[in-house]
Amino acid sequence: MRPAAKFGAAMFVAFVVLGVVGPWIAPYDPTHVELAQRFAPASWAHWLGTDSYGVDTLSQLLWGARSALEISCSVVAISAVIGLGLGTLAGWFGGWIDELVMRAVDVLMAFPGILLNIAIVATVRRPGLGVVIAALCANGWVSYARVARGQVLGLRERDYITAAVALGASNRRIMFHHLVPNLLGPVFVQMTLGFGAVISIEASLSFLGLGAQVDYTWGAMLAQGTAFLWKAGFAHYVIYPGAAIAWVMFAVNLFGDGLADRLDPRARARL
C-alpha cells in the first residue's frame, strides 16, 4: 500500500481506538454542567477549555468520537448487508427482481444528498440514535447494491460460475459460495468511504438540529460553536469539532483510495 494510504489507515485506527476508549479516558462527564466554569480557557484542569455550560470540551470530543463510531459502524454494517444482499439478488436473478431493486435505487437516488435523511428524521419529534441510524440506512444501502450488482453482472459470465451452474449448484450456493466472496473487495472499499459519508451526514443533521438527541455529537458541538462565531476568540468552538470530523474524512479518503488502487490491479490480473 502507498505511504499515503498507510497514513490514512493509521489515522482511521486512531479514531476507532479513541472512539472505543474515549469515554473511559475522558477527564469529565459530558453531562457534568459547571456554570462557574463557563467559557473557561484552556488550562491544566480543562485542556481544551469549556463551553457555554461549563462542560469540558475535550470530554465532549471524546464522547462525540464514541457517538460517531457507534452510528457509523451501525449504518455501514446494516447498509452493506442490505445492499450486498439486494444487489447480489438483482444481479444474479435479473428480471423483475432486478427491475424492482433498481427502480427503488433510482427513486432513492432522486433525493439529493441529505434531503431524504432530513425528511425522515424530521417526522420524529425527539430522534434517538436508532432513528438517525434507520434514516441513514434508508438510502445508505443504495451504493452497496449498485456496486454488488455491477460486480455480479461481470462475474456471472465467468467460466467458474457456468461450471457451478452446470454441476447443478443451487442459486443459494452460487450466491453465497461463488459470488459474494468475490465481490467483497469493492464492497469493502465502499464501506471505508461509507464511514466518512455517514459521519459527515450525521454531523450535518446534528448541526441542523435534527440529529440524535441523546449523546454528545460533533455536529451538535459545531451547531453550538457557530452561535458564538461573532465573538472574538471563540473560533475554537468551531475548529475543534470541525477538525475531529475532518480527521475522519481525511483518513477514510486516503485509506479508501489506497484500498481501491490495491484491489484494482489484482482484479485485473485475475481476469
Partner 1 sequence: MGSGALAIVGVSILTFAFLHVVPGDPIDHLAGGEATPETRAKLEACLGLDRTIPRQVVGFFGHIADGTLGHQCPDPEAKPTVAARIFAVLPHTLALALAGMILAALVALPLGVLAAVKRNTWVDTAITVGTLAGIAVPMMVLASLLVLVFSAELAWLPGPTELGFAALILPAVAVGAHLTAMLARMTRGAMLDVLGEDYVRTARAKGVPEWRVLFVHALRNALLPVITVAGLQFGSLLSGAIIVEKVFARPGVGTTLLDAIAERDYPVVQGTVLVIAVTYVLVNIAVDVAYGLVDPRIRVA
Residues making contact with partner 1 (CB under 8 A): 103-104, 106-107, 109-116, 118-120, 122-125, 200, 203-204, 207-210, 222, 225-226, 229-230, 232, 235, 238-239, 241-242, 245-247, 249-250, 253-254
**Minimum gap (Å) between residue 244 Cβ and partner 1:** 10
67 alpha-carbon distance from chain centroid: 12
Is the CB of 57 or the CB of 204 nearer to partner 1? 204
Q: What CA–CA distances, in Å, run from 55 to 59, 214, 237?
A: 8, 16, 12
Residue 185 · residue 267 · CB < 8 Å:
yes
In whole angstroms, the minimum distance from the beta carbon of 33 to partner 1 comes to 25
Q: Which three cell numbers stand for residue 269?
A: 490480473
Cβ distance to partner 1 smaller for residue 39 or 250: 250
Q: Which three cell numbers stand for residue 170?
A: 443451487
CA distance 29 to 48: 15
Nearer to partner 1, 42 or 109 (CB): 109
Minimum Å gap between C-beta 110 and partner 1 is 4
Alpha carbons 185 and 80: distance in angstroms, whole number: 12
- Can you tell me which residue has the cell 464522547? 63
Q: How far is the CB of 65 from partner 1 (least distance, A)?
A: 15
Cβ-based nearer residue to partner 1, 41 or 130: 130
